[in-house]
Chains A and B, each alone.
Chain A
Amino acid sequence: MADEPTLPCLPPTSRLAASLSNAGRKRTRGLNPPTYNLSTSSDPAVFSSDDDPALDNYIHGRRKKRYVGTWYDQHPASSDSADSAMGDDMRPPPLKPRQQRQFKRRFDSGVWMAQTDVSTDADESMDLDPPVSRLPLPVSPSVSLRPRYSAEEANAQRIIQSCIDGGREEVDLSALQLCSIPNAILELVSLIAPIPTVAKDVAFEQRDPSIKLFLSNNSLRQFPSAIFNVDHLTVLSLRANRLTELPPAIASLKNLETLNIAQNKLRSLPGELLSLMKAGSKLTDIQLHPNPFYQPNVPNCSSSGADEYEQGTFGPKDDDGMCESWYGFTTSLLARTPVQFSNRSTVVSRFEFPTVSSLPTHLRKLELEELWSLEIPKAIGGQLGPHLDDVRESMPKGAPSLFELALRAAVGHPDRESAKCVLSEQCVSNHFAAAFDRAAHISDVGGQTCCVCGRDTIMPVTEWIEFRELQRTQVIVAGSGESLVENWYSVRVSNNGDEHCVPFVRRGCSWNCIPFKASEPSEPSKDLELSEL
């Protein structure tokens, strides 16, 4: 049916501008006031037989439709048939209200449902004609999208499809010259289900899949965020691509056993990755080098106060009590950089991370700050909270800022591009636009949480890097009950100069979410962490 409401096409910019900056929140139904049928100006008579469905026929606008034709090809009888008895000339053209409705309502906003003045609208929708079989079959999205895929992408899709069909858990998309891979294609990977082995006398068992995804030797510039939706990913190789960052959401890949991100353009790793590199996690194999990682500008850094810094900043460690033996990666802190404070889009601190996209080696060296000192820009020093010296709870408290809330709503706008246009037109400074771009990027790659308070943020304003040393660690639990003994053995992964220090980025959501200042050591202290192991 032509007037069947469909999801609206994206509104043109000008309309959107009006709706975004309008003075009236309520969506009116158009300029024309509702048309009344003068011949029925008084209320319809109320009879005791009110529940008689036939009564509907007396109320204008709510009459029943009649249909003609066979059951598979029926269509409404002429729209005039039901009420031709009423004054034809007094009646508005029957299609008019529907046309208004068609472009006044936004089916994707959901907001209209709460508005009182639309409720009549919603009522009328009950009278909409039911979909009729004459309607052409809806075009399925996959069909209409297919032509937009490049040859390489179509190739990838074919490979994934054959893995689904064959129940194969190894998806090899390596060396396909992919510059990007649409989420719609990559999401198919989560459909892969292994074919259970059926053997005699063995109970049928559906096991969880263990998906291995190889995307190595392509030209990916951005981490494909659809990967985060693949629950049972155990092997992920992105070796030899052009990634410049790894999104924080990588921490959600809890089943990951092997990760290969060598030969990319990574300058640092997200601090969130550390949650996969601690006792109890499944990651047992990781390939990080070579990558143009940031390096400390001094060869030997002291890490005294590391425990104090970590507990103070990120809260007390979760209980490390292991009940079973474990093998995997751990890290220990070597040093950290000063904190870069920014103000939505501009940096306000002296210390600033380089912004050039490709850095010569000598510029990749970052200065360090002792864990017992903390440089805070003078301009903002007075505004920081009083509790900076207390051990913080790692629990977000209090409400997010209005700016952040509004930015989140703007980034989530169904027509984000137009929203951005309006934003850059309205504001003289490109301040907002820059913040908007950054927020949009963060939300696209799966979000960011504040490393200190744990709150979701799309506008981190503090940032620093921890240099850490990777260790292969084995925990052997012996004995039982009271006499349970845990033995920890750690070996450095690499002693080789450049590969020794691995940079992990930490980001905070407010100027208060910054590193904890360890107490100044009175005597030169030895590396606590390592001597314990």
Chain B
Amino acid sequence: MATKSDGPSNSKYITMVSSDGFEFVVIREASLISPTIKAMLRNNFSEAKTGRCVFPDISGLVLEKVVEYLYYYHKNVNVPYVPDMEIPVELCLVLLEAADYFQLDSVTVGTAFRSMGDTLKF
């Protein structure tokens, strides 16, 4: 886990913790694609201070896929004709719920990156 001297609230990374205790260290910028995470890291919530977001309803297996998606989205923001990320059939329904929870639906996802400008304040 990378914590810089000026404290976790300014770290380049955040930690996402699943219900079964798996921890994923994610580049903050990529994680902020999700409006849900962005809201958690805002201002005075404890998550903002510690840089640790715990998701008690999401298993490590699903969270792993979500993290994979965050990076996939982040990497391809301005790339034309991005190939689809593989979704294992047996995970598709739980991932639907997860997408709903993290607000990673097409309604907002096309626009979230734009607000990256304000994220740099964090």
Q: Taking beta carbons and an 8 Å cutoff, which residues of A are in contact with B?
A: 19-25, 109, 111, 343-344, 380, 383-386, 395-410, 412-414, 419, 422-423, 426-427, 432, 457, 459, 461, 509-513
Contacts and interface: CB of A to CB of B under 8 A. Distances in A.
Nearest to A108: B89
Given A111-B88, A399-B85, A402-B102, A21 B107 contact: no
Interface in B40-92: 59, 61, 66, 69, 72-73, 76-82, 84-85, 87-92
B96 A432 contact: yes
Given A385-B110, A385-B114, A409-B87, A403 B77 contact: no
20 contacts: A24-B61, A385-B114, A386-B114, A397-B80, A398-B73, A398-B76, A400-B106, A402-B73, A402-B109, A405-B84, A405-B87, A405-B99, A406-B87, A419-B93, A422-B93, A426-B93, A509-B106, A509-B110, A510-B111, A511-B110
A401 B89 contact: no
Nearest to B87: A409
Contacts of A384: 111
B108 interface: yes
A281 B99 CA distance: 41
B89 to A, nearest CB: 6
A401 B93 contact: no
Given A398-B78, A399-B76, 17 more contacts: A111-B90, A344-B107, A380-B107, A395-B80, A398-B79, A401-B107, A402-B73, A402-B109, A403-B99, A404-B105, A405-B99, A406-B93, A407-B96, A410-B92, A410-B93, A413-B89, A509-B106
Contacts of B98: 402, 406
A437 to B, nearest CB: 14
B95 to A, nearest CB: 4
Contacts of A511: 107-108, 110-111
A25 B111 contact: no
B92 A23 contact: no
A408 B87 contact: yes
Contacts of A510: 106-107, 109-111
Interface residues of B, number: 41
Contact of B105 (A398, A401, A422): A401
Contacts of A396: 80-82
A180 B117 CA distance: 53
Contacts of B59: 23
B78 A343 contact: no
Contacts of B99: 401-403, 405-406
A397 B79 CA distance: 5
A21 B94 contact: yes
A343 B97 CA distance: 15
Contacts of A22: 90
Contacts of B88: 25, 111, 409
Nearest to B72: A399
A473 B97 CA distance: 51
Contact of B89 (A109, A344, A380, A399): A109
A317 to B, nearest CB: 19
B110 A427 contact: no
Among all A-B residue pairs, the 6 with the closest Cβ atoms:
A510-B110, A403-B105, A409-B92, A403-B99, A402-B104, A401-B109
B106 A403 contact: yes
Contact of B110 (A111, A407, A512): A512
Nearest to A344: B105
Contacts of A397: 77-80, 82
B111 A395 contact: no
Contacts of B85: 399, 405
A413 B96 CA distance: 13
Given A400-B84, A413-B89, A459-B106, A385 B111 contact: yes
B77 to A, nearest CB: 5
A25 B59 CA distance: 11
Contacts of A404: 105-106
Contacts of B20: 23
A387 to B, nearest CB: 8
Nearest to A20: B93
Contacts of A457: 106
A401 B106 contact: yes
Given A25-B91, A386-B114, A427 B97 contact: yes
Contacts of B61: 23-25
Contacts of B73: 398-399, 402
Contacts of A412: 89
Contacts of B76: 398-399
Contact of B111 (A383, A399, A403, A419): A383
B89 A409 contact: yes
A424 to B, nearest CB: 11
B79 A461 contact: no
B92 A406 contact: yes
Contacts of B102: 402
A403 B111 CA distance: 15
B106 A461 contact: yes
A203 B81 CA distance: 45
Nearest to B115: A383
Contacts of B82: 396-400
Contacts of A19: 90
Among the interface residues B59, B73, B89, which one has the most CB atoms of the partner chain A within 10 A?
B89
Given A402-B66, A402-B99, A20 B114 contact: no
Contacts of B94: 20-21
A396 B81 CA distance: 6
